[in-house]
Each structure stands twice: as C-alpha cells, then as structure tokens.
C-alpha cells in the first residue's frame, strides 16, 4: 500500500482457544466488535481460532490486518497493548508461549515470502490472567473487551476514511 493511500480491505481477526478462559479473549473481542458495529463492507471480521496457514489468503488479500490475541506481555491481567508492523515481528521472535503465537509468526512470514504482506499490521495484545479450562474469560480480562474494540474502531476508521501515513 503506498503512502497516503486509503485501505480498501481490513481484516480483523480474533485468535485463541475459547475453551481455555483468557486464551480465547481475541475471539471474544471480535465477536463483541462484530455484534456492536454497523456493517462495513471493507471490514472482514474473522474467528481465527487457534490459527493456521489456511488463513493465508485472507491476510494476503488485505490492505491491513488487526489481530487480537491473549499475549504474555508482562503486564497486569487485562492490560491492552498495541503492537504495529515490525514491533509484532520483534514480539513474536522471542520465546513463544502459545501455539498460536508460533502460527501467527508463520502466517505473517508466509505472506511476506510471497510478497503479499498487508501494508499495515497491528496486534492488539491482552495480558491473560488464566489459561485454565473454562469457557469465560476472567473478570479483569473480560473488562478489556470494550477497550480493545475501541482500538479496533480507531484503527479501522483511520485506515478506511483517512489517508494512511507511510
């Protein structure tokens, strides 16, 4: 995507295992985002589950991608941090704690190798409290859902309705 261009297609993907409490927060965030938004044809909201290379076509066809995931970022549970482009690569190049962190790194690397990486990549990382068996996120992590959705709204609005800086 060239400097100053607007995005035409944005993928918002929640990843994680919804059977493991906070590990599934990415999926819970994107479900909440989808339910609370008016339909925007340029935004494709995906439940990426525990992720896999089958999602490569979705990533390659996007101008921008937002991934929401539980991530060990060394903060208090429920903390939301935003990583952009190469910051994601740096975060994922360290010690990986979940299978989907490995798969996300592989997914982005595969798109890069094929020369079809999105121009904008963002990871909305949420610090988990517990990844034990359970269908619902812990209260402190569940409380982060509106903040993560606000970040998604802000990013997608700027990408779709304003010029994007290089």
Q: Where are the domains of the chain?
A: 10-161
Identify the band that residue 1 occupies on the pLDDT scale cut at 50, 70 and 90.
very low
Residues 6+ apart with CB under 8 A from 96: 102, 105
Instruction: Give the N- to C-terminal CA distance of the chain in Å, as an integer.
Output: 9
Identify the band that residue 96 occupies on the pLDDT scale cut at 50, 70 and 90.
low
- Residue 111 and residue 9: Cα distance in Å, rounded? 16
Q: Top-level CATH class of 10-161?
A: alpha beta
73 and 81 in contact (C-beta within 8 Å)? Answer: yes
How many Cα atoms within 13 Å fall on the side-chain side of residue 35? 8
In this predicted model, what pLDDT tens digit does every residue of 103-131 receive, in sequence order? 888 899 999 999 999 999 999 999 999 99
- Residue 94 and residue 101: Cα distance in Å, rounded? 10
Ramachandran category for residue 69: left, alpha or beta (phi over 0 → left; psi -120 to 50 → alpha)? beta
Identify the band that residue 54 occupies on the pLDDT scale cut at 50, 70 and 90.
confident
In this predicted model, what pLDDT tens digit does every residue of 148-164 receive, in sequence order? 999 999 999 999 987 65
pLDDT of residue 164: 53
**β-strands 120-126, 64-70 pairing:** parallel
pLDDT at 34 > cutoff 80: yes
């Amino acid at each position: 995507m060239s400097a100053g261009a607007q995005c035409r297609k944005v993928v918002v993907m929640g990843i994680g295992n919804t059977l493991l409490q906070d590990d599934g927060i990415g999926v819970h965030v994107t479900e909440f985002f989808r339910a609370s938004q008016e339909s925007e044809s340029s935004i494709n909201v995906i439940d990426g589950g525990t992720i896999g290379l089958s999602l490569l076509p979705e990533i390659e066809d996007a101008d921008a991608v937002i991934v929401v995931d539980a991530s060990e970022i060394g903060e208090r549970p429920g903390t939301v941090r935003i990583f952009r482009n190469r910051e994601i690569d740096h975060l994922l190049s360290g010690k990986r704690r979940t299978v989907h962190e490995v798969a996300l790194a592989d997914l982005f690397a595969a798109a890069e190798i094929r020369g079809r990486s999105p121009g904008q990549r963002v990871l909305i990382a949420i610090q988990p409290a517990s990844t034990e068996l359970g269908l619902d996120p812990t209260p402190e992590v569940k409380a982060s859902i509106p903040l993560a959705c606000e970040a998604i709204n802000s990013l997608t609005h700027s990408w779709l309705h304003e010029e994007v800086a290089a």
